[in-house]
Amino acid sequence: MSRPPRVFYEFFAGGGMARLGLGDAWTCGFANDFDPVKAATYRANFPDAADHFHEGDVWALTPDDLPGQADLAWASSPCQDFSLAGARAGLGGGRSSAFFGFWRLMEALDDQGRAPRAIVIENVTGLLTSRDGADFVALGRALAARGYSFGALEIDAACVLPQSRPRVFVVAARDVPPGLMGDSPFHTRAVRAAHAALPDEVARAWVWWGLAAPPARNTDLAALLEPDDAVDWHTPAQTARLLALMGPLHRARLEAATGRAVGAIFRRTRIEDGHRRQRAEVRFDGLAGCLRTPRGGSSRQAIVVVEGGEARTRLLSPREAARLMGLPDGYRLPATTTGALHVAGDGVAVPVVRWLASRLLEPLLDGPAILAAE
């Protein structure tokens, strides 16, 4: 007996990275994003976009815009108000209030008997602590009130990609097969603290999803970079100015590099002696720092190559940023550097979605159907 295709809705879809991670065994019934650059990127990469993609504000949608009944609703709502780089206004602030635009649609679908069987809400780790945890409690209470059991997983993309990118995935479902519960390396201290802070009536809906860790990553940052002769390097003066921003610890890391060492440099604002100061910080652990959007509160990352006692630097290219998100080289990026970095830096890591789908979401959704068939 063949299994019917799994159908999903993708809200705040960006360039469609969750769709890519879910893969060909899933059918997109509906997708939306309000950003024109992201919408154009989605259309450029998915020929069937005209059939299901809606460009516009989630608040302008109605349940009638959503066809049929989805197995899964995926929501990567704007994260600025949860991010440590933002104002931490929480669910009540600015762009993150778009989450409620999404949630009112889920409530309306439930009222019509068309609620998705599962929901994934992906966001920055600040979701767990925003407003001293009040936002996570509100999210859990909303899910539980509609009959969903839920649990959170904190997954760093560094487990599958050479980029440090921790994100929270709240997975909610109406039916929870016992075999999917258990220990997980993604039950981090922050997840456990968020669970411990839930009121009893919300905590009763909690699920400890037993998602295993993927195989050890075997790719480092250097493997994803363009050849040296295919990119534009900083002038010696530009490199000197960048390296001059390093404090003693990071200067020591640079000077200790031997052989051909490839590292990532990112600029941060630090408070030193009561004053804000821009610092360049380098890592040689085979990882890039977390990609940001060009206006996301952090500057564009740089690459440093130390060889023969000399250091050369340059900016990370848009294609390299796309690779750090797990996007294939055939993925069509916006023509402008800013647009391409915005799409990549504001997305979800494709291999993380694939692991979550294959080891949790697909067994979660297929389990009841398989049992019924037997």
Kindly tell me the burial class for residue 335, based on how many C-beta atoms sit within 10 Å of its own C-beta (0-12, 13-18, 19 or more): exposed
Q: What DSSP state is assigned to residue 361?
A: I
Using CA atoms, how far residue 227 sits from 60, 189, 202, 298, in Å, is: 46, 40, 52, 26
What element of type H or E holds 277?
strand 275-283
| Partner residues linked to 118 by β-bridges | 72, 173
Around 199, how many Cα atoms within 13 Å sit in the side-chain half-sphere? 11
Token pair for 326: 């797990």
Is 159 a catalytic site residue? no
CA distance 26 to 363: 13
Phi, psi values for residue 169, rounded to 5°: -120, 110
List all residues 6 or more positions away from 253 whose beta carbon is below 8 Å from its beta carbon: 263, 282, 283, 284
Phi first, then psi: give them for residue 52, nearest 5 degrees: -145, -10
Q: Provide φ and ψ at 311, rounded to 5°.
A: -110, 130
DSSP 11-58: ES-TTTHHHHHH-TTEEEEEEEE--HHHHHHHHHH-TTHHHHEEES-G
Cα–Cα distance measured from residue 136 to residue 154, given in angstroms and rounded to the nearest whole number:
14
Marked catalytic residue, from 28, 79, 159, 290: 79
What amino acid positions are annotated as catalytic residues?
79
